Amino acid sequence: MPFSLNDIVVAISMIKRWESFRSKPYLCSAGVATIGYGTTVYPDGRRVTLEDAPINEVEAMVLLKHMLSSKYVPAVVRLCPELLADAMITGNWSRFSAIVDWVYNLGAGNLQISTLRRKIKEHKWDECDAEIRKWNKAAGMVLRGLTLRREDEVRVWNS
């Protein structure tokens, strides 16, 4: 990785705020066993189960950082290298961080098929706000929590 997780401290902060810490395994809204700050798979590749032992916040941070460095950040770099180049040239990691949070919540597959990705690849930065905001639904229904998270991502994108 040509940068460190310190460069995306804003993304880490956003993820922690929106995912919230849960010491015990639980089923997320998609029905997937989850622990900590949205972790679904341990570093050794085992999936989280509802029978797993509770963890503390330090362990949750280790899991979050592992997931970011092994899965989510590489996906953003692969799908939108323009964001990495922009951040490295300008020193402003806000756009990159906003999209890392977006992908952590929605998945790399959704970024890959999105108009948001196309706008990023075309450097149409001012059109990305509307594309970020579109992803506020689950099962076809607008969710307040997703709307607020998308607004937070737009705020960070524009900072």
**Which pLDDT tens digit goes with each residue over 91-113?**
899 999 999 999 999 999 999 99
Q: What is the reported pLDDT for 1?
A: 53
Q: What is the reported pLDDT for 34?
A: 96
Torsion angle (degrees, nearest 10) of CA 11, 63, 31, 77: 50
Checking DSSP bridges between strand 141-142 and strand 22-27, what pairing results, if any? unpaired
Regions of the chain short of the pLDDT cut 50: none
Give the C-alpha separation, 44 to 62, whole Å: 13
pTM comes to 0.91
59, 36 Cβ separation under 8 angstroms: yes
Q: What is the reported pLDDT for 136?
A: 94
Q: What is the reported pLDDT for 30?
A: 77
Q: What is the reported pLDDT for 2?
A: 61
Structural tokens at position 21: 């810490």
11, 101 Cβ separation under 8 angstroms: yes
Checking DSSP bridges between strand 33-36 and strand 22-27, what pairing results, if any? antiparallel
Structural tokens at position 38: 């949205």
Task: Count Cβ atoms below 10 Å from residue 43 Cβ, excluding itself.
Answer: 12
Burial of 156 (0-12, 13-18, 19+ CB in 10 A): buried
CATH fold label, 5-157 = Lysozyme (1.10.530)
